[in-house]
Amino acid sequence: MERVLKDIHFSFQSHLLRFKFEAGTSRGILKDKKTFLLQAILRDEPEVVGWGEAAPLPKLSIDDLPDFEEVLSNICKRLSGSSVFASEQGILDWVKSHVPENYPSIRFAMETALLDLLHGGQKKIFDTPFYNEAKPIPINGLIWMGEKEFMLDQIDKKLAEGYTCIKMKIGAIDFGQECELLGYIRKQYSADQVTLRVDANGAFSPEDALGKLKILHEFDLHSIEQPIRQGQLEAMQSLCISSPLQIALDEELIGIHDYRDKKKLLETIRPQYIILKPTLVGGISSCREWIDLASSLGIGWWMTSALESNIGLNAIAQFTSTYDVTIPQGLGTGQLYHNNIDSPLIINRGEIRYGLESWGI
């Protein structure tokens, strides 16, 4: 008979993360970010706690709603007392059937907390060499939007820190200045030495996108994320056919839950890559569906955190490590905050690994 996690109690606490700098995005400046840390506890073993994180991204997550905290509280109350099959698949299936799909960050938090509980409350989400043997995952260095001098300073620091893959957010300042920054990197490092990615967050119009992609291609870029706003399927399909630069879908995946809709989206647009953010697209089960579909169509992918604390980042990194990844992932956001949760996660020379330090919770 399959083992069961019996009489689970769910609760949460909010935590206001404070940025070390004003983080510029296409949706405005972020100075802080509220997140919610979920706890799953067995009534008979209250000392064993599984942790997850529900962290809707402001102005982007479909569950970034005024009543989010009330909804999370109600879900915790409704599901407290539940019993769940004590297996990875049992947990993922249970969450999928008990947490509404239009609350993707709560799904991810529930999956993570229960998987942690399954492994004894040791912040172990998956049994992989990343957790067990400190096997590193390659990551990109992220350059935030801002004034040219601010972006240039970030570039210099990331290159000095040994990153061999740089991702630069574009669309906030003059396009010519952004090209100058890319040219600055290319004068020092060839494409063989440093991989360059850019993320437009939908900043280009369909009319001028192709012209800008042709200019960007001159800098030997690896790819561009979401060049035009999501929801313009025909325009994005045309871009993916015509662009000399590889295109990765990001925001385009948000709010697509049904397997058939996911399949139709990828078959229609045929991007070269997709970007997966578990908090935004519905957690581990949903990401696995996207990966399986993308792989069947010859579409590449990489995983990215979405400004979670180290609780969420740890879960995403461990999930990523269940795959044989070779290209840099977007998992470098743990260094953004003054008051992140202390963790064993270590970022060094373009890699993230699980070290020996203890957790702050």
- Domain chopping of the chain, boundaries: 4-118, 129-354
- Tell me if residue 277 is catalytic: yes
Model confidence at 213: pLDDT above 70: yes
Mean pLDDT of the chain, nearest integer: 95
C-alpha closest to that of 308 among 131, 53, 137: 53
Catalytic residue among 124, 167, 212, 277: 277
| 31-45, 87-101, 160-174, 277-291: least confidently modelled range | 160-174
pLDDT of residue 92: 98
Distance CA 131, CA 122 (A): 10
Strand order in 28-42's β-sheet?
Answer: 45-54, 28-42, 4-25, 82-85
Taking residues 118-139, what's their average pLDDT? 98
Residue 101: C-alpha distances to residues 39, 200, 263, 279 (Å)? 20, 27, 17, 12
Confidence of residue 27 (pLDDT cuts 50, 70, 90): low
pLDDT, residue 249, reads 98
**Considering the entire predicted model, what is its pTM?**
0.96
- Fold of the domain built from segment(s) 129-354: TIM Barrel (3.20.20)
| Cα separation, 311 vs 113, whole angstroms | 10
pLDDT band at 25 (very low <50, low <70, confident <90, very high): low
Q: Which of 113-127, 151-165, 219-233 shows the lowest per-residue confidence on average (mean pLDDT)?
A: 151-165
- pLDDT category at 227 given cuts 50, 70, 90 is very high
pLDDT at res. 24: 67
CA distances 121 to 4, 56, 73, 221, 223, Å, are 16, 24, 22, 42, 39
pLDDT band at 144 (very low <50, low <70, confident <90, very high): confident
Q: Nearest to residue 72, comparing CAs of 38, 120, 31, 122? A: 38
Instruction: Render pLDDT for 91-113 as a digit per residue (tens, 0 to 9).
Output: 999 999 999 999 999 999 999 99
46 has a pLDDT exceeding 70? yes
Evaluate whether 4-118 and 129-354 have a shared fold.
no
Residue 167 bridge partners (DSSP): 142, 197
264-287: average pLDDT: 98
H/E stretch holding 348 reads strand 345-348
Question: Confidence class of residue 187 from pLDDT cuts 50, 70 and 90?
Answer: very high
Q: Catalytic residue at 123?
A: no
Query: What is the pLDDT confidence band of residue 12, given thresholds at 50, 70 and 90?
Result: very high
Judged against a pLDDT cut of 60, whether residue 1 lies above it is answered with: no
| List 33, 124, 158, 169, catalytic entry | 169
Using a pLDDT cut of 70, give the percent of the chain over it: 99
From residue 253, alpha-carbon distances to 101, 104, 215, 274, 357 in Å are: 14, 12, 26, 8, 35
The model's pLDDT over 288-327, given as tens digits with 9 standing for 90+, comes to 999 999 999 999 999 999 999 999 999 999 999 999 999 9
Confidence of residue 2 (pLDDT cuts 50, 70, 90): confident
Q: What is the pLDDT of residue 171?
A: 85
Q: Higher confidence at residue 23 or residue 315?
A: 315
The pLDDT tens digits for 335-355 are 899 999 999 999 999 999 999
In the CATH hierarchy, which fold is given to the domain comprising 4-118?
Answer: Enolase-like; domain 1 (3.30.390)
